[in-house]
Structure 1
Amino acid sequence: MILKFIIQNIKWNRLLAILILISSSAIAQKDAQFSLFSLNQLYLNPAAAGAGGLTQFQLTHRTQYSGYQGTNPVDEGGSLSTQLFSFSMPIKNFGIGFYALNDKSGPRTDQDFKISASYHLPVLGGNLQLGASAGLFRQSIDYGKLRAVDPDDPLILTGVISEINPDFAVGARFENETFHVGLSLNHLLKPKYQLGSETGTNPLPRTLYFNAGVNIELGYLLDIQPIVLVKSDISTYSVEGGATVTYNKRYWVGGTYRQQDAFFIIMGGVYLLTDQSLRLSGAYDLVIGGNKTKAPSSFEVMLSYALPSPKFGKKTIIRTPRFRF
């Protein structure tokens, strides 16, 4: 929406073409945001591949600033939309994972595809996980969705322009039955995108993620899990944290606060099957301060399915008095 505002108000068309790329660069410096970050950490840290000893499939949809409208009535809604599919599986002392991300923000779309691998070392009664991921990051902009003062200006681009670059990340994570803590660095090579410009660049900055969580048992049926996430591109940072409460290993509710956007986030979920293999979770973001343009709320839904860790090698021989072999 920042791009659209600039295009509608700047009178110098040659300067306009430059400002389009500058604004696009500023917007693109942030990765997709998720309120349910504690449930799907593979997107934040490749070392989370195979974490928890479970094979997991997860599908997430997020709509940010739902109901926000663009300044031009013929345009689509101004809300941001994100979809994420992820898969993770442990294999002995290793873990593998994959995720596919689609993040749409007005005329710009980001698509991220990565394969992750991690190595698990038994340390201090838990697992130290070292991981890396590699894949492709596609960025595109639809110039047809922008509104120019002079649509006949030959310097204004038309159609959809996209670029694809390789992208890498590394991370480390420690987990045991009581807590987990992780640190990762994304966009190691800082891939750059020109998006139709001969001189302008649109780099993805290196992003540092720190996240942690603790599981505290409060009796036989109740558990509480404090969680925290810190995101930084070195020059800026954002902190969010809170806690969730789980009842009878099946129902859970919680809340977190996101410092940068002044959001209070309400979340909850339920295991739909008694074996805890299928879980439905959701989050609702409430604006309690900050810019009025963020007043429309955001929501997020996640469906996850988990399987036990796969077994490898020969089956264990069961010996009985009748069959001795």
Structure 2
Amino acid sequence: MAEHLPQRLLEALEARAREAVAHWGLENAKPMLLKYRENAVFRITLADGEPAVLRLHRPGYHDESALRSELQWMTALRDSGLAVPSAIAAPDGRLLVRLDATDDCAGQHADIVSWMHGAPLGESGVPLAHSGERQVAIFHALGAMMAYMHNLADRWSMPHDFKRAAWDAEGLLGESPVWGRFWDCEGLSAEQRRGLGILRDRLRSSLENVPAGAFDYGLIHADLVRENVLVRDDGVAFIDFDDAGFGFRLFDIATALLKNRNEPAYPSIERSLIEGYRSRRPLPDAALSALPLFMTLRSLTYIGWFAARPELPGAEARLRRYADETLLFAGTLPVPA
């Protein structure tokens, strides 16, 4: 991703990263840009020689309260034995640093979290490299760890000022969804707008007709895509809690499965993940039957996400492709009417 960014943007991000690490006394850290999507993410080296991750948070996406809440939940999960990053405090004790606006950058926050060892499960659009047997083991571990995370979330005494987005009916299909108005964003064709508007109404009706309590709801990661699941000898680790919030637990499951649906071994992948999840947490068949609905909801989110980030390489082409894929997907799966 970094090599495709405009040179001026790349230079501005690198200068901003050097400004940020100085607050941790790491003037010689030599930040290396890893990705630029929601945040600008850099690999750095701490004073003790250990690697870590610097995050320059996207201006205006989360306020300071929401960012602190993300770090609080990550810390709670880490303290309970989950393989997730931990926040690294600056010498003055701050976990989050405010960076003032400059000629090249808007005001934003930065933090540093621990490096998580392991290899990403895969890359979107690229076939999984693991053998079928290995895929079964990985997705079973992924499902089990996801369920354990949901269990920990339910037991956690949430701070009174905890604040995160809600991936509920309003957050997914309301007038101002978390990731944008996918049905009328810039870059869509008239036909795509019509189709997505009809689909939105259909899905809203589906969720409104669901009996209260039919779907498990609580804190979720909300972005367990391949790149955010690290495969290790001892299982898996989760990274990038930037979109963590309140939502349907099936939304977490749908996210982990969606980009794998074209894999030749997808039936085994889905079965293994569900079996792993059920080894740690109940998942009734009645609720699981709504998985296609939540996979469709997840697919819709990518459209608004790319529409709101036109600076990303190929953003408009990708949002059109996601729109076509979502409409096709929704038309072939048994989404409840």
Kindly indicate which of the two structures has a greater share of residues assigned to strand.
Answer: 1
TM over 0.5: no
Q: Could you tell me the TM-score, scaled by structure 2's length?
A: 0.23
**RCO greater where, 1 or 2, for CA within 8 Å and sep 6 or more?**
2
Larger radius of gyration: 1
